[in-house]
Amino acid sequence: MKSAAKNVKLDGRNWSKPRRWNRHPWDAWFSRLVFVLVRGRDYDCRTDSMASLVKAEARARGLRVSVTIADDFRSLTVGAG
């Protein structure tokens, strides 16, 4: 018999659902219409991996973005899509 998860509230937060750990300041970035992310300053992974991560995070927030990777693969520009 499976036991149902209880909604445990502490400090006004629902602890029955795990929260995603965010290394990046997504709220600050997505509050702007356009932002530029630079490898080494804003992220450490491959630029194409970061572009995929930005798109996935935007989708999870119900946003649409367009991502342009710079020719040198050291930065990417994100804008409202």
Q: What is the pLDDT of residues 55-65, one digit of tens each?
A: 999 999 999 99
pTM of the full structure: 0.71
Span 64-81, mean pLDDT? 93
**Alpha-carbon gap, residue 41 to 20, rounded angstroms:** 22
Q: Which residue has the higher pLDDT, 5 or 69?
A: 69
**Alpha-carbon gap, residue 12 to 60, rounded angstroms:** 23
Distance of CA 47 to the CA centre of its chain: 14
Q: Which two tokens stand for residue 65?
A: 């973005």
Span 17-43, mean pLDDT? 86
Does the pLDDT value for residue 47 go beyond 80? yes
Per-domain boundaries in the chain: 25-80
Q: Specify the pLDDT at position 79.
A: 93
**Alpha-carbon gap, residue 37 to 50, rounded angstroms:** 9
**Alpha-carbon gap, residue 37 to 41, rounded angstroms:** 8
Does the pLDDT value for residue 17 go beyond 70? no
Span 5-12, mean pLDDT? 55
**Residue 50: its H or E element:** helix 47-60
